[in-house]
Structure 1
Amino acid sequence: MGERRSRFLGVAAISVVLAGLIVGCGSAEEASPGPGPTPALQPVRSAKIAFDDSESVFVMNPDGSGVTKIAPGTDPSFAPDGTTLVTGGGWISTVSVDGSGLRKLAEGGYTPVFSPDGTRIVFVRGGDLFVMNADGADLRKLGDLPAPTGPNQDSSRSPAYSPDGSKIVFCRGSAIWVMGADGADARPLLADKHFNSDPVFSPDGTTIVFASNRGGKNRSELYEIDAEGSAVRPLTDDWTVGPAFSPDGAKILYTLARSAPDSGAEIWVMNRDGSQPRRLTEPSQVAQHPSWGADPNS
């Protein structure tokens, strides 16, 4: 699986609520002041889910309603405050959740993600990890990784920060690795005969959810391990990839792949323990690589 691995993500659209105006009136006995300046109407945004269809980025409400295309690109991932997305594809770019302010930062790259404090972006280019400031400055290759130890062990992909920003988990070949956010102390976390991908830390930092073909069904399912790489537990029993946690850590988004004759990709959501899965996007919508943004108003 290369850096443009098969990704399935659902889209979401933005709901905009306009604040109403309140006009006060005095009593008949009191001098009534004239109306003051009319306050500007401000959009009120709530949490959104983003995804791509391999060409464009979409957003939607957490219940799957309001799907809206906002920008070209792939691999959307929210900034910590939920107002901005970073996207991959031909360019690493940032864009507001309403589609405004598209800004190209670096040419070429995939699976970009913000650091938890929003100051840095890590992404994949040419099988290596790169990091830069959130404005595109100070671009550099991240880490001096050990030489490959076996077939297909030299390509890095799918980076994700730990909640405290001190570590990055990623895949190298078929194994899951972890290293310091500065690229130091890289080491395998889960290296076995299976193909593992798409690792992501839980918001509380205690576990990592990932996709793997260890189920023996010639496909990938989602699994969970402790943050130190032990105690593998299955979460799904369908062809699933691309896990992403809700901001509060209570739920997990993922992509469910449909095989022929109903081939496609849908965004689903489940509880953190794998229970109560439900579909968010329509089967007619190709939806992959989901990301769940925080509520900017919280």
Structure 2
Amino acid sequence: MKKDAFVKLFNFFIFVVISFLFFSFTPQEEPLKHPLEKHLKNIRQLTFGGENAEAYFSFDETKLIFQSTRDSFECDQIFIMNIDGSNLRLVSTGKGKTTCSYFLPGDTEIIYSSTHHISEKCPPKPDYSKGYVWALDNYDIFKAKADGSNLRQLTNTPGYDAEATVSPKGDKIVFTSIRDGDLEIYTMDLDGKNVKRLTYEKGYDGGPFFSWDGKKICYRAYHPKDSAEIVEYEQLLKDGYIKPMKLQIFVMDADGKNKKQITNNNAANFAPFFHPDGKRIIFSSNMHDPKGRDFDLYIVNIETGEIERVTYFPDFDGFPMFTHDGKKIVWASNRNSKKRGETNIFIADWVD
């Protein structure tokens, strides 16, 4: 009996050792990655809890600026953190509602849109009895130092001025405004001067980003065609809303010329961003989901229109941005959320 017990104990010891060695030296599947996400590697989660979105790299790519509803805040405020998620700090006023933040060249200044000058309270939440709508709150675009101090107002027109981003050349801000009665794309200098309108077709044109050489702009657009669509669009606009159920990706020159539609489907395609090769655009879309609730990242060839799916997580993935060398990507996702509606910021190595 003693011998049998010793053999059993010895065999159990060998089993434990072999198991330890196997699990120590056998590569394990990345827990944050879907098996089909071949373009993503070494995914790291940077925020944990709340609603975090639209994270964009600083020009030196050591920091991220993003909007977040967290802690005691009832609506979005602007935060900056290092690209490893450390040194998180609030840089907006903590009042009103903010959106669409971006660094300026040199990373000593930032821009973002805010409603705090209209009211210190959060704007009313959208009226979803009208369907799934985005509220066109009374945003203006502000500039501040990177710590939030020395806040200055760049736009001062009634209604919506938001969705501002900056050219990699460091000379222009591109943004969306309702100043002329419709949602159009404009550019202006970094001090808010020399405003120029780029789009003129009826409907929503927005979410613009410059190409890496500053010569092109990609954006999302909804241009209602028949009379019923036009009537619905105009009524929603009058009520301060837009229904983002059908959005297509477009490209134009930085001066508004040579507009070209890139996607052509019945989906909501949004958040486009140029790959550094200048030949592709990454964006978010629900094109694969008949119910329209699941958004994933896709990348499209500008010339051929060929589309490749990038993410496969069964919920939301959106707001992607590459580093200038195309080796890293940051985006917002519902993956690994602890409760419904939680959205966090993730960064990963990009594998072409």
Provide the TM-score with structure 2 as the length reference: 0.60
Distance in 1 (alpha carbons) for counterparts of 2:322 and 2:106: 15
Distance in 2 (alpha carbons) for counterparts of 1:158 and 1:10: 11
Deviation at 1:103, TM superposition (A): 1.7
* Contact 1:11–1:67, Cα closer than 8 Å, also in 2: no
Tell me the residue number matched to 2:234.
none
**CA deviation digits over 1:30-58, x for unaligned, max 9?**
xxxxxxxxxxxxxxx98211101253110
1:112 aligned onto 2:185:
no
Tell me the residue number matched to 2:129.
none
Mapping of 1:227-246 within 5 angstroms?
A: 227-228=302-303, 230-238=305-313, 239-246=316-323
Tell me the residue number matched to 1:201.
274
Tell me the residue number matched to 1:35.
none
1:216 aligned onto 2:295:
no
Rate the CA distance shift 1:252–1:229 in 2: closer, same or farther, 3 A.
Answer: farther
The one of the two structures with greater contact order (alpha-carbon pairs below 8 A, sep at least 6) is 1
Tell me the residue number matched to 1:267.
345
SS in 2 for 1:210: strand
Distance in 1 (alpha carbons) for counterparts of 2:146 and 2:278: 26
Tell me the residue number matched to 2:18.
none
1:84 aligned onto 2:109:
yes
Whichever structure has more helix as a proportion of its residues is 2
Distance in 1 (alpha carbons) for counterparts of 2:305 and 2:61: 36
SS in 2 for 1:85: strand
1:178 aligned onto 2:247:
no
Deviation at 1:246, TM superposition (A): 2.3
Distance in 2 (alpha carbons) for counterparts of 1:267 and 1:248: 20
Q: Which runs of 4+ in 1 moved over 4 A?
A: 258-261
Percentage of pairs with the same residue: 28
* Contact 2:184–2:200, Cα closer than 8 Å, also in 1: no
Provide the TM-score with structure 1 as the length reference: 0.70
1:129 aligned onto 2:196:
no
* Contact 1:162–1:169, Cα closer than 8 Å, also in 2: yes
Mapping of 1:120-159 within 5 angstroms?
A: 120-126=172-178, 127-145=183-201, 154-159=203-208
Deviation at 1:261, TM superposition (A): 4.5
- Give the RMSD, CA atoms, in angstroms: 2.6
One-letter code of the match for 2:106?
D
Deviation at 1:66, TM superposition (A): 1.0
Distance in 2 (alpha carbons) for counterparts of 1:159 and 1:195: 16
* Contact 2:55–2:319, Cα closer than 8 Å, also in 1: no
Deviation at 1:245, TM superposition (A): 1.5
SS in 2 for 1:264: coil
Deviation at 1:244, TM superposition (A): 1.4
One-letter code of the match for 2:101?
P
Distance in 2 (alpha carbons) for counterparts of 1:134 and 1:98: 18
Deviation at 1:201, TM superposition (A): 0.5
Distance in 2 (alpha carbons) for counterparts of 1:248 and 1:62: 16
Tell me the residue number matched to 1:28.
none
One-letter code of the match for 1:213?
N
* Contact 1:113–1:121, Cα closer than 8 Å, also in 2: yes
Rate the CA distance shift 1:78–1:229 in 2: closer, same or farther, 3 A.
Answer: farther
Which range moved further: 191-200 or 100-109?
Answer: 100-109
1:165 aligned onto 2:214:
yes
Whichever structure has more strand as a proportion of its residues is 1
Gaps of 5+ in 1: 1-6, 15-44, 148-153, 275-298
